[in-house]
Structure 1
Amino acid sequence: MKMNPYLIFEGNAEEVLNFYKDALGGVILMLSRYGDSPEKTDEEWKHKIIHSRLQFGDNLLMISDGFKGYKTEGKGNIQLSVEMDSEEQLHEVFNKMSEGGNVKMPVAKQFWGAHFGMLTDKFGVDWMFNYSLG
């Protein structure tokens, strides 16, 4: 069994997908638009993403736009946590992901033997990045 996070946006999923692809060094495995599906949609929404899959490392993140008029609701206390392969990678990805966002906890050495940082990206998604020292 494996859990894959699915993020739904209000019309800017393509911007989000491309930002994460670049920041995380990912590959878009799949991208389908509303206009390609049997879902009824208008001209404005047919180019929006109905489903996409982004792979980075062994991870899979799915991203889409909700149906036209879909409004995101309170997200509770959900954060995406990524274990990095090196301290260099941690800083590189953290810096890219924090562009236009809000750093909640800068990357620093932590008491549990790791470098760790937290941020909310420019799309309002909360992230935690960790690199275990040994």
Structure 2
Amino acid sequence: MKGTIIPYLTFYGEGKEAAEFYANLLGLEEVGMQKYADANFPHPPEAADYVLHCHLKKGDFQIMLADSADKPSENNKHGVALLINCENVEEANHLYNGLREEGEILMELQDTFWGAKYGKVKDKFGFTWDLNCEKEG
């Protein structure tokens, strides 16, 4: 196996908005974005402006995402959480506050028994983010 596991998030018409949100919040650069209309790829007419593929990156941290041209299933985003090991408490607070806007706090950002500051937020797109910040010293 080569490299790390890269999260690949699926949206249903919200891909461009999500890419902008994550890029701004996480400080990611867009490596590339392609829409269905730009590719020789079968799609329904209403999906022409949907994101076929987007790659966002900052150093070794990467996210890929796309819009599905199919209708979403009822539980399409359950069972997976995205964990970020934060560099410091300030970064953890910044991400926590950004992700909870229009989202849902699942666990307050707090000190834990395992010696970290930890919180869990479901963002406005329905994805769950775990934020972990190991205590210094």
Ranges in structure 1 where 5+ consecutive residues have no aligned partner: none
SS of equivalent residue, structure 2 residue 72: coil
SS of equivalent residue, structure 2 residue 96: helix
1:52-71: per-residue Cα shift (whole Å, max 9, x none)?
0111342111111012x332
1:43-82 pair list within 5 angstroms: 43-67=45-69, 69-74=70-75, 75-82=77-84
Q: Which moved more, 1:74-83 or 1:112-121?
A: 74-83
The TM-score normalised by the length of structure 2 is 0.89
Matched positions, count: 133
The TM-score normalised by the length of structure 1 is 0.91
The corresponding residue for 2:31 is 29
Matched, 1:111 2:113: yes
| CA distance 1:17–1:84, change in 2 (3 Å) | same
Offset at residue 40 of structure 1 (A): 3.0
| Letter aligned with residue 71 of structure 1 | P
The corresponding residue for 1:125 is 127
Q: CA RMSD in A?
A: 1.5
| CA distance 1:57–1:86, change in 2 (3 Å) | farther
SS of equivalent residue, structure 2 residue 46: coil
